Structure 1
Amino acid sequence: MRFRSTLRSVGVFATILVLIGLVIAPSGATPAQAQSRRPVMAFYYPWYEKADWENGRMSDVASPKYSGGEEATLLRHIQQADDAGIDALVCNPPWGRQVLPDADMGAFYRALLGEAARVLRPGGRAVLLTDRVAEVGGALAELPALRPARELVISLFGSHPTIYVLEKE
């Protein structure tokens, strides 16, 4: 009996502490910030399809399950990176061959580069490797704040993609 009474007292005390913590905790959480002047970078790999999350193909399952070619997914992921204080995303986006073959690649690149233009600081850069020249050109035509600082065509396994260095004005 004494054990149950002690256990009940500990539970009540813990509940009171949690409630006090909720009352006195600051209401507005501050966004994450890097602790040094070094940029915080993350590799962003938007190649997943909804089917990739099924049948035990992944050790971790995303919630919600998503397709990397969906504009809402890109917007959500880039906003999450921005909210987390990430300064740069390193990205090798899909070219629409093996991954996202049925996607509207023009819409994909407009969404990707539109979000890059939104979250980059003035003078910030985005580097992109793709062979989708028309789609990148079309997206950049709609984004006057993002300009190509450099373009380099390379040879990669029989393909000739372009490395774009884009800079926000």
Structure 2
Amino acid sequence: MRLLLTSDTHVPARAKSLPDALLAAIDEADVVIHAGDWIDEATLDLFESRSRRLIGVYGNNDGPGLRRRLPEIARAELAGLRFGVVHETGAATGRAQRCAQRFPDLDVLVFGHSHIPWDTQAPGGPRLLNPGSPTDRRRQPFCTFLTLTVSDGTLHDVTSHRLPPRR
């Protein structure tokens, strides 16, 4: 099963459109996970129309329309792994311990908010994945998103994709 993980698309607040590489990855994925801060319902509509299966949550910058359509926390079992999705996990310091305590029943937690790509294993808890942002790199050298595969209860080929600078 091929997964695409993204977050913090911020269209149209930070970017006028989504990068072509992200759109192509949506088309190729079996499941797309978006960890919030869509900003615009049209972006959610676009993801829904292009995704085979979409799992998403709202973020702190998402208004009432998106909050009506999306949960704060989403959960799904994918190819034998228990996934959770949430926008915010708090400060980097202590994140692994907080997430292990808050989500002891998950194998993988996808989160966003910081725009900082992240891949760690919480001791006694879930693997923590933040795809970064495909449109707003903030203090990071690149805009990013993640792809990976899941089979027989195992993650494979977790890859952070660096996007060319937006003009």
Verify same fold: TM over 0.5.
no
Higher strand share: 2
Higher helix share: 1
Give the greater-gyration-radius structure (CA). 1
Normalised to the residue count of structure 2, the TM-score between the two structures is 0.32
The higher relative CO (CA closer than 8 Å, separation ≥ 6) is in 2
Normalised to the residue count of structure 1, the TM-score between the two structures is 0.32
